[in-house]
Amino acid sequence: MIFIDPPLWPAHGTYFSHLVSDSSLEELHAFAAAAGIPRRAFDRDHYDVPQHRHADLVAAGAAPVDGATLVRALIAGGLRIPARERAASLVHPLRRRWDALVPGAEELGAELLNRWGEPHRHYHDRRHLLQVLEALHRLGCSDRPVLLAAWFHDAVYDGVAGADEEASAGLAEELLPPAGIPAAETAEAARLVRLTAAHDPAADDERGRLLCDADLAVLGRAPADYDRYAADVRREYRHVGDSAFAEGRRRVLETLLARGVDLYRTQRGEDLWGSAARSNLARELASLAPGSYPAGSGSGSGAGRG
């Protein structure tokens, strides 16, 4: 069933309602498409719809409910995105991690969190930063240069592979020494950031293998979480047409799948995420077969790296 709450949320000179399903995103997308609501209005578990559409959406079959009832419907259907998956909710948890890693560098931590919270980011945001840090913990890594590299590895993100990593490494080289990080640790953190451009560390590069595996841990998440990741990457490249996206994304997926059991470079990473990652990648690749990605659909995943 489709639900809509009152238009109480101010933005862009009007008020917005939330449109949700209590059973599936497929039902929600189909209802929205039939009502002429663009896919760009979808935000992870709901559509934001302006006040002037409320009455006609109710007439089309959406049940009007209060906000609390709408949230309960999302939760009951298993579609509610938890707070830890919402970038705006992660400032304080991440700030505590930064303060423990680099005591006394509060201003630098604030700058990094601001960068990770830039509005054009939909996947490479604070959620991704937290996921990488948590993945490093699961890999048993507490090495400070690796953790610093995690904080900086997408600190500059303009969607330009290679250039972003180089700019992020340069930012680490600029900002870490004034924060009291020794030259050797700064250089190592910057080196590791540059490795994330290709995710191809040398066999004897333990730190590089740990960081690259943590950065790609998202590929081994549960299917629904992986699908959200893919959709978020697509949103970051919304300026690129669907056909070009599908072609570029296929190349990325094929390259990753060609690594086989070498997708993850640590045994722990392979044990944690390898099987699920290859299944997710193959499933997405099949969905991007020529002819299966209609022009103008606005859905699917983009050509971006992990």
Angle (CA) 222 281 153, round 5°: 80
Supply the pLDDT for residue 88.
61
pLDDT at 294: 39
C-alpha atoms less than 13 angstroms from C-alpha of 33 in its C-beta half-sphere: 10
Least confident of 78-87, 115-124, 174-183: 78-87
Residue 295 pLDDT level (bands cut at 50, 70, 90): very low
How is residue 149 written in tokens? 């590299």
Domain ranges within the chain, ordered by starting residue = 2-81, 87-215, 220-287
Question: For residues 109, 110, 111 and 117, what is the CA-based torsion angle, rounded to 10 degrees?
Answer: 110
Angle between helices 144-152 and 206-215 (to 10 degrees): 40
Average pLDDT over residues 200-223: 97
Q: For residue 77, which of 16, 2, 17 has the smallest C-alpha distance?
A: 2
pLDDT(29) > 70: yes
Tell me which residue has tokens 């090495």: 143
15 φ, ψ (degrees, to nearest 5): -125, 150
User: In 196-216, which positions are buried (b, 16+ CB within 10 angstroms) versus exposed (e)?
Assistant: bbebebeeebebbbbbbbbbb
Element (H, E) at 14: strand 14-21
- pLDDT tens track for 212-225: 999 999 999 999 88
The Cα 36–Cα 21 span in angstroms is 17
5-19, 21-35, 78-92, 120-134: least confident range? 78-92
* Predicted local confidence at residue 279, as pLDDT: 97
- Split at pLDDT 50, 70, 90, the class of 86 is low
> What is the full DSSP assignment across 175-207?
HTGGGT--HHHHHHHHHHHHHTTTT---TT-HH
**pLDDT tens, 140-160?**
999 999 999 999 999 999 989
Percentage of residues in the chain with pLDDT exceeding 90?
A: 74
pLDDT band at 115 (very low <50, low <70, confident <90, very high): very high
- The answer for residues whose C-beta is within 8 angstroms of residue 28's C-beta and 6 or more apart is 2, 19, 20, 21, 42, 46, 47
pLDDT band at 293 (very low <50, low <70, confident <90, very high): very low
| Separation CA 16–CA 25 (nearest Å) | 20
Q: How confident is the model at residue 183 (pLDDT cuts 50, 70, 90)?
A: very high
Q: Average model confidence (pLDDT) for the chain?
A: 90
pLDDT value of position 303 = 52
Q: Which residues contact 172 (CB under 8 A, 6 or more apart)?
A: 148, 149, 152, 155, 186, 189, 190, 193
Percent of the chain with pLDDT strictly greater than 70: 92
| Cβ proximity of 249 and 303 under 8 Å | yes
pTM of the model: 0.72
Phi and psi, residue 64, nearest 5°? -75, 125
For the cut 90, the answer to whether the pLDDT of residue 235 exceeds it is: no
Predicted local confidence at residue 191, as pLDDT: 98
What is the predicted pLDDT for the residue at 27?
94
Residue 154's nearest CA partner among 105, 181, 117 is: 117
In terms of DSSP bridges, do strands 63-64 and 2-4 run parallel, antiparallel, or are they unpaired? parallel
pLDDT band at 300 (very low <50, low <70, confident <90, very high): very low
* Band of pLDDT at residue 42, cut at 50, 70 and 90: confident
Decide if 197 contacts 165 (C-beta within 8 A): yes
| CA–CA gap between residue 56 and residue 72 (Å, rounded) | 23
> 87-215 has which CATH code?
1.10.3210.10
pLDDT in tens, 267-292: 999 999 999 999 999 999 998 876 55
Tokens of residue 93, six digits: 């948890």
SS3 assignment, position 129:
helix
More confident of the two residues 83 and 34: 34
Least confident interval from 45-59, 234-248, 281-295: 281-295
Kindly report the backbone phi and psi dihedral angles of residue 266, in degrees, each rounded to the nearest multiple of 5, phi listed first: -110, 150
Q: 81 exposed, middle or buried (CB, 10 Å; 0-12, 13-18, 19+)?
A: middle
Residue 202, CA atoms < 13 Å, CB-side half-sphere: 4
Instruction: Please measure the distance between the N-terminal and C-terminal CA atoms of the chain and give it in whole angstroms.
Output: 34
